[in-house]
Amino acid sequence: MHLPDYLEARTRDKRSYNRIHFQLDDSIEKKYTGKKYFVKTYGCQMNEHDSENICAMLEAMGFSPVDDYLDADLVLLNTCSIRENAHNKAFGMLGRLKHLKVQKKDLIIGLCGCMAQEKSVCDEILKDYKFVNFVLGTHNLYQLPEIIDKAVEEDKQQIEVFSREGDLVEGLPVIRANSCKAYVNIIYGCDKFCTYCIVPYTRGRERSRKKEDILEEVKELIKDGYKEVTLLGQNVNAYGKDLYEDYNMGDLLEDIAKLDIPRIRFMTSHPWDFTDKMIEVIGKYPNIMPSVHLPVQSGSSRILKLMGRRYTRESYLELFHKIKDTVPGVCISTDIIVGFPGEEEEDFLETMSLVEECQFDNAFTFIFSQREGTPACKLKDNTTLKEKEDRLQRLNEVVNRIFLEKNKQLEGKVLKVLVEGTSEKKDMYFGYSETNKLINFTSEKDLLCGDIVSVEITSAKTWSLDGKCV
Ligand code: SAH
Ligand code: SF4
Ligand code: F3S
């Protein structure tokens, strides 16, 4: 058994990593043929992509997927720790699984992802959730097959969570959820330590994949017919810093843009490492989508300082306008936290005025959530939850009004859309524009997932656009 420890998880040093190649043990390959699995994914794109690796590892073991967890022989929760409600949802699901296990004694239940890295979660599982067969951390996800097998063979709870990042694993199998768009990890971990955030503890130090491995993966995806790649990292702008003297995110973007892939996206960018070279490259290559997610978190320099974000309101705005001025037609989206400890009404009003100035195309807004072990957890907080909810509501009214106004400006315009499929009602197709707007549209011609078509926008809603293929 290995339990995580925050003090260790916080450590950063310059040691180098072994790069190992995933290999499934012959003795486990197809051993579980006939058994069914269900993976429930919480959290960010990183987790979604990890789940694509998880599914492929499980299928290599012989498991096949089911749509309803009630039909599964193995249920795995790939969890997220970012806010309390993500945490509560996973524990709610564990509660339901407890009941299921009463009827299905052989059900295998596992938990992995960011919550596994929290010592309090592991302690709770050890004490009160004895029916959970295994817990696996983010740093050793590649050991999933052997840990499942061990849990089954020994019939004993397995908790294998390492506090420190280990080897960098290449060659994990993958079953992609989408057949025309793919996620590609470029950097793992985060060294920013924003004071509210748990990710640097759950995902470890920033570690870049080698550029050759990334380029190879993108070339394979092109061969397989993928039309869009999203380069993933908690902070993609830090790409290369731990690995190369003079090769960074701007260079990587440029090298990928020179490949024959129609659409490149990347996320997330911390404003801190956003270089002029990156902005120039994004503006120069038409296959790098003019869509940047640039989380601001707050419009008050005082709060930004308390958050440890390393930029001020003014320097954020300077970067924002530089990107807008250099990349034609770029859309910028953001994340905002309200109710950070010590946020006064006047700080909040600064966030509101920044939102009015930036006119974001999309914004994910959250109420601050205390994460155990982070520095912000110890800050004095005099604002009531009711006041915070009120701020969130006022903010949402403004951002939603702006989304609708910006979408209205697109009525009558023709946008390029990557077709993903038919919408729930089946009478419409859906896909995303270059600027990452969701578009539902009709077409007289039959279209396939992966087609890139021109769509005239007929009507705008707050979160989507309707149109017709022209
Ligand atoms: N690496 C990304 C953020 C990943 S987390 C970045 O820095 O841009 C996604 C968003 O969750 C953050 O941008 C932040 O707005 C929000 N978030 C993170 N920790 C939070 C917390 N403790 N409470 C509320 N929101 C939080
Ligand atoms: Fe969290 Fe900040 Fe790292 Fe983003 S940059 S993952 S908010 S610590
Ligand atoms: Fe959540 Fe971990 Fe992603 S905390 S947001 S799943 S990196």
Say whether the peptide bond before residue 195 is cis (omega within 30 degrees of 0).
Answer: no
pLDDT digits (tens, 9 = 90+) for 366-395: 999 999 999 999 999 999 999 999 999 999
Whether 192 lines ligand 2, by a CB cut-off of 6 Å, is yes
CB 359 within 8 A of CB 406: yes
The rounded distance, in Å, linking the Cα atoms of 435 and 406 is: 12
Residues of the chain with CATH 3.40.50.12160: 6-160
pLDDT by residue for the chain (470 residues), tens digit each? 888 888 788 888 777 788 889 999 999 999 999 999 999 999 999 999 999 999 999 999 999 999 999 999 999 999 999 999 999 999 999 999 999 999 999 999 999 999 999 999 999 999 999 999 999 999 999 999 999 999 999 999 999 999 888 788 999 999 999 999 999 999 999 999 999 999 999 999 999 999 999 999 999 999 999 999 999 999 999 999 999 999 999 999 999 999 999 999 999 999 998 999 999 999 999 999 999 999 999 999 999 999 999 999 999 999 999 999 999 999 999 999 999 999 999 999 999 999 999 999 999 999 999 999 999 999 999 999 999 999 999 999 999 999 999 999 999 999 999 999 998 777 899 999 999 999 999 999 999 999 999 999 999 999 999 999 99
- Asked whether 208 lines ligand 2 (CB < 6 A), one says no
CATH top-level class for 6-160? alpha beta
From-to residues of CATH 3.30.750.200 in the chain: 292-408
* CB contact at 8 A, 116 and 2: no
Smallest CA separation from ligand 3 atom 1, residue: 80
Q: What is the CATH code for 178-289?
A: 3.30.750.210
Q: Residue of the nearest CA to atom 2 in ligand 2? A: 194
Q: Which fold has domain 414-469?
A: OB fold (Dihydrolipoamide Acetyltransferase, E2P) (2.40.50)
pTM of the model: 0.96
Q: Distance (Å, rounded) from C-alpha 401 to C-alpha 103?
A: 50
Domain with CATH 3.30.750.210 in the chain: 178-289
**Interior/surface letters 332-370, b for 16+ CB within 10 angstroms, e for the rest:** bbbbbbbbbbbbeeebbebbbebbeebebbbbebbbbbe
Cα-to-centroid distance, 200 and ligand 2 (Å): 7
Answer yes or no: is the C-beta of 90 below 6 A from any ligand 3 atom: no
Closest residue by Cα to atom 19, ligand 1, is 197
Asked if residue 268 has its Cβ within 6 Å of ligand 1, the reply is yes
Q: Where in the chain is the domain with CATH 2.40.50.140?
A: 414-469
Q: Does 307 sit in the ligand 2 pocket, CB within 6 Å? A: no
Class of domain 292-408: alpha beta
Q: Which of 197, 272, 296, 298 to mutate to test the pocket of ligand 2 (most atoms within 8 A of CB)?
A: 197
Q: Residue written as tokens 């003014």? A: 314
pLDDT tens-digit readout, 397-406: 999 999 999 9
Report which of 171, 173, 187 is spatially closest to residue 266, judged by C-alpha positions.
Answer: 187
Q: Which atom of ligand 2 is nearest to the CA of 197?
A: 1
Spatial CB neighbours of 344, under 8 Å, sequence gap ≥ 6: none
| DSSP helix/strand/coil, 174 | coil
Query: What does the alpha-carbon distance between residue 343 and residue 360 come to, in Å, rounded to a whole number?
Result: 22
